[in-house]
Amino acid sequence: MSFQIAIDGPAGAGKSTIARKTASELGFLYIDTGAMYRALGLYILDRSIPLDDEAAIEASLPGADIQLTMENGEQHVLLNGCDVNGRIRTEEAGMAASKVSTYRAVRKKLVECQQKIAGSLDVIMDGRDIGTVVLKNAPLKIFLTASPHIRALRRKEDLALRGTAADLQEIEEDIRKRDEQDMNRAESPLRQAEDAVCIDSSDLTIDEVTDKILALVRERRGSAS
């Protein structure tokens, strides 16, 4: 029987790092749903459609084909056949993703796509609505969080590793704005599922968080068999 792990939480809580590591330990498929919203945000930016024009965005959706592929164990996002993995990682793409993800038609399109990919595979999927909407029946749901300051520090380090200098205060401001947008939208707002386990990673290392999740997997798998 397949086992699905849902990880939700605010921007910069370490979801993708932790999910990727846990997936590799367990031999599960890792699906980063934020990358799909980012690709769609990019599609809208590339067409110069105003981010607040919901009707125009909805009308443009049939032209956006978003696919995930795996290369050397790494997820790649294809937007209309083009690999946009590099382009989706900017703050601009993140903000555009956060904005377009508030629209019902956008969510419907991407949620259907995510559910199709997950099918009945062993997957670990991260995002904002995985435990509450996409994989509602997942036997293990994690809500991963950390303080805005710690999340900003981590993002700054991440950007520095990719050769981009950024101002800590600006990043923290962006993170707070994104939290505000993701938690207060009408459609599938970011919230902890009732049956999710909350992990605050502010004072934990990547290995400590991963170990906690692996222990939960062992426990839940044991009780499922």
What residues make contact with ligand DC under the rule CB under 6 A? 11, 33-34, 37-38, 94, 97-98, 101, 127-130, 178, 182
Closest CA to 188 of 37, 57, 69, 20: 37
Give least dist CB 43 to ligand DC, A: 13
Minimum distance from residue 50 beta carbon to ligand DC (Å): 18
29 contacts 121 by C-beta, under 8 angstroms: yes
Give the N- to C-terminal CA distance of the chain in Å, as an integer. 9
Instruction: Please work out, in degrees rounded to the nearest 5, the angle formed at the alpha carbon of residue 111 by the alpha carbons of 20 and 25.
Output: 15
183: how many CB neighbours lie within 10 A of its CB? 12
Counting Cβ atoms within 10 Å, is residue 2 exposed (0-12), middle (13-18) or buried (19+)?
exposed
Q: Which is nearer to ligand DC, 127 or 148 (CB)?
A: 127
Nearer Cβ to ligand DC (89/221):
89
Taking the complex as a whole, the smallest distance from the CB of residue 36 to ligand DC amounts, in Å, to: 7
User: CB-wise, 20 or 128, nearer to ligand DC?
Assistant: 128
Q: Do 199 and 142 touch, CB atoms closer than 8 A?
A: yes
To ligand DC, the closest distance from the beta carbon of 218 in angstroms equals: 26
**How far, in Å, CA of 196 to CA of 159, rounded?**
30
Q: Residue 33 or residue 75: which is nearer to ligand DC going by CB?
A: 33
User: Least CB distance from residue 132 to ligand DC, whole Å?
Assistant: 10
Element (H, E) at 173: helix 168-184
For ligand DC, give the closer residue by CB, 135 or 213. Answer: 135
